[in-house]
Amino acid sequence: MTTDGQSEWLSASGRDMAAHVLAASPDGMVVIDDRDLVVACNHAAADLLDRPAARLIGARLRIPGSGGRPADLVLPQPDGSERVIETRSAGAAIGSDRLTVVTLRDVTADRREARGLATAFDHQQMVAAVAAHELHGPLAALSVLAHVLRDRQAAIGPAERARLMARVLDLTDRLQLLVRKLLAAGGGPTARFGAAPEPVRVREVISEQAADVARPDLPVAVTCSSELRAVTDRAGLSIILSNYLANALAYARPPVQVTAGAADGWAVIRVTDSGPGVPEQFVPHLFERFARGPENLAAAPGMGLGLWIVRTLARENGGDAWYEPAPGGGSCFCVRLPLPPSDPPSDPQPAHPGQPGHRTGHRTGRLASNARPGGARSSRASQAGEAAQTRRRRSNGGGT
């Protein structure tokens, strides 16, 4: 047994010992009573909480977490940054008093490093997903062309063989550009996908992509002036149009129309179809990564990356991409890119997506049309000719 004096001495001795433990701890420590009032703390806690110890004692302090599980306490700093304090709480009873002992540790640097690693990992996943999405099409086309060229029984004349070889070279160039872009994008989250923008003739790129995807049962009408140019990465514009057209052919109904014109300093391209359109509730998510509408999951394979890639490339080139309902029903996917400074800011009568035959200042063609025998072949050949001329201009140092 102990006398009352001995109990008082032991109580005083315990408080003194607790004070020494608090002071010696490298971590911040605070003791909170059942009213959330601080009854004791050490200097490390005062430094972490940026408040003098004398002001902490008696102050109300609510600490997140309980039961020994760690929780983060985020403290805004005067410079706009944040300090992250990891807290761990444990209950204690001294006589009739119920107390909570909280340890505090500054984990700001750890959390920042973790976020950086997570961002880098997410970026690498994104690069891999883009590679799988964008390399699949050209590789599949190259495989088909190689088999056709190798088939000795195929009736291919010299002109057709030359056209197919030109297409092989086009696809090879595109693959090389894609690989360079993916290597650049793999350098970090802030890396660009595309090359430096330059003036590009829009109709040439539209014609190339339309000729690739058009079918006899699903023609693609193109309305665009041969003089319209946009300041953009050419391969990036090819990818934008390829994704828009692939979506139209996969999910929509004919006719599919591509119209382009100048408006208010922009080259504006619209890909319009006559399909069911996009459900209104899904429109805000259309251009998000991995976004696929429920009605599209069974309609065609895909990862939901195409439209996200479109908007990323458009914005990298100083433009933007968006969706709007087509006049009379269907979908209209749009992209705008800057005009060269020397080009007229607007067409006299800009083409409207619902008027494919509008010809003022425009050249209009229908690809893969059944209106005449051999229409698809002759249209594709003309587009291949445009691509070959473009290749010669680029190889000779000329502009696009």
pLDDT tens for 334-361 read 999 999 998 777 665 444 444 333 333 3
Q: What is the pLDDT of residues 274-325, one digit of tens each?
A: 888 888 888 888 888 766 665 554 444 455 677 888 998 899 899 999 999 9
Report d(CA 256, CA 42) in Å as an integer: 72
Q: What is the pLDDT of residues 183-207, one digit of tens each?
A: 655 555 444 555 678 999 999 999 9
The pLDDT value given to residue 212: 78
The pLDDT value given to residue 222: 94
SS3 259: strand
Report d(CA 98, CA 375) in Å as an integer: 88
Q: How far is CA 351 from CA 69, 240, 332, in A?
A: 63, 20, 14
Cis-peptide, bond into residue 255, ω within 30° of zero: yes
What interhelical angle do 234-251 and 306-316 show, nearest 10? 150
- Name the H helices within the chain: 4-24, 43-48, 53-56, 108-150, 158-185, 202-213, 234-251, 306-316, 375-395
What backbone torsions phi and psi does residue 39 show, to the nearest 5 degrees?
-105, -15
Find, among 182, 216, 29, 195, the residue nearest to 104 by Cα. Answer: 29
Residue 91 corresponds to which tokens in the numbers above? 């209950």
Least confident of 38-52, 93-107, 122-136, 211-225: 122-136
Q: What percentage of the chain carries pLDDT values higher than 70?
A: 68
Least confident of 144-148, 271-275, 368-372: 368-372
Q: How many CA atoms lie within 13 A of 128 on its CB side?
A: 6
